[in-house]
Amino acid sequence: MSNTKKNPLDLSAFPAASVIEYSTLVCLACTFEIFTTQLGLAPRTAYSEIKKYSPTVAELTAPKALPPFFDSEEKHPHCPYCKAAKRWHARFDTTRIEGEKATDAARRKLVKALPQKDGQFQIIATNSQKRATFFDWLATLDHNLELDDDDWLLESTRAWLARCEPKTDWAGVFQSVRAVRRSQRLTEAWEQEGRRLFLAPHLYSEILVVQYLVSRSHVHGGRTLEGRLTLQELLRRLRYGGYLEKQGISTSDQFEILEQVIEKLSGGAGKVKLYYIVDRRDFLEKVKSVYASFAA
């Protein structure tokens, strides 16, 4: 059991939608091979170089890991490149927090409380376009939800609502909700009535777009609360629902409309600061134990 599992980060101060967690494995057999055979370093030197190694954000968060990184859901995976067994694998857990004024103090406190010794944690701050951050969020949704599952429509609805209204107890609301409807009378927000959740038209429209964007690459036409929709059908619903007018979107080019809707959902054109907290504890522990057996 590694330390990482024993002491997870306390993220309770952050809205769920502003945090993304990534996990990837690195094969230390492959890594030592690169440093000793390819780079010609003595094991001892390789060991001290590898310990210092800090993966890039791209390596830590890639949807498809590249060597010597790999992803596996298996309990006892083997390295896909060299077949090394589990004791050669180290895990990097990375937590990405979107920089927001409301959570700046909490983030500083969290970072300050991390153990500083031996580079157990590394913080990487980057700037990203809001649009890119929104697409990362969609990719996480896609990764975490089972599109063939009927719960997907409810779960994706809940995810968007949690992004819009982070302070509401959505887990509580969705315990009883079984259906989502467009409200005929609400002009904003939402209302729960027994097992049904009624949404103001613009909120309902946004959820259709989110569902379309996540599911369009999996099925022909996206899968939404309104069934499978092509882009044209989706935009027709947005138009009839009054969404496009409300957002001041008047172009007739459908790809341009989608672009403008995405910009609106992303929160505008600006930039957002992203903080990556990289947990290197498992890595440091495994490098040490692997070196001990490697050098023996």
- What is the contact surface with Zn ion in residues (CB under 5 A)? 27, 29-30, 79, 81-82, 84
Of the two residues 67 and 166, which places its CB atom closer to Zn ion in the complex? 67
Q: How far is the CB of 30 from Zn ion (least distance, A)?
A: 3
- Closest to 183 in 3D by CA, of 170, 202, 167: 202
Identity (one letter) of the amino acid at 132? A
Min CB(82)–Zn ion separation in Å: 3
- Residue 270 CB: number of other CB atoms within 10 A? 9
CA dihedral angle for residue 171, residue 130, residue 224, residue 207, rounded to 10 degrees = 60
- Measuring CA to CA, which residue among 283, 206, 276 is closest to residue 20? 276
Residue (82 or 105) nearer to Zn ion, CB = 82
Q: Please state whether beta strands 179-182 and 196-199 pair in parallel, antiparallel, or not at all (unpaired).
A: parallel
Q: How far is the CB of 89 from Zn ion (least distance, A)?
A: 8
The arrangement of strands across the sheet holding 271-279 comes to: 69-70, 19-27, 89-98, 271-279, 121-129
Calpha distance 215→230 (Å, rounded): 11
CB nearer to Zn ion: pick between 43 and 268: 43
Question: If you search the block for the tokens 């969404």, which residue do you land on?
Answer: 243
Min CB(37)–Zn ion separation in Å: 13
The string of DSSP letters for 19-60 reads EEEEEEEEEHHHHHHIIIIIS---HHHHHHHHHH----HHHH
Q: Which is nearer to Zn ion, 81 or 152 (CB)?
A: 81
Least separation, in Å, of the C-beta of 40 and Zn ion? 19
Neighbours of 256 (CB within 10 A): 11
For Zn ion, the closer CB: 30 or 278: 30
Nearer to Zn ion, 29 or 209 (CB): 29
Nearer to Zn ion, 70 or 190 (CB): 70
Picking from 106, 141, 93, the residue whose alpha carbon sits closest to that of residue 14 is: 106
Q: Which strand (E) or helix (H) includes residue 222?
A: strand 222-224
CB of residue 81 to Zn ion, shortest distance in Å: 5
Name the minimum Å distance from CB 29 to Zn ion.
4
Which amino acid, 121?
F
Task: Give whichever of 82 and 219 is closer to Zn ion, judged by the CB atom.
Answer: 82
* DSSP helix/strand/coil, 78: coil
Minimum distance, C-beta of residue 137 to Zn ion, in the bound complex (Å):
32
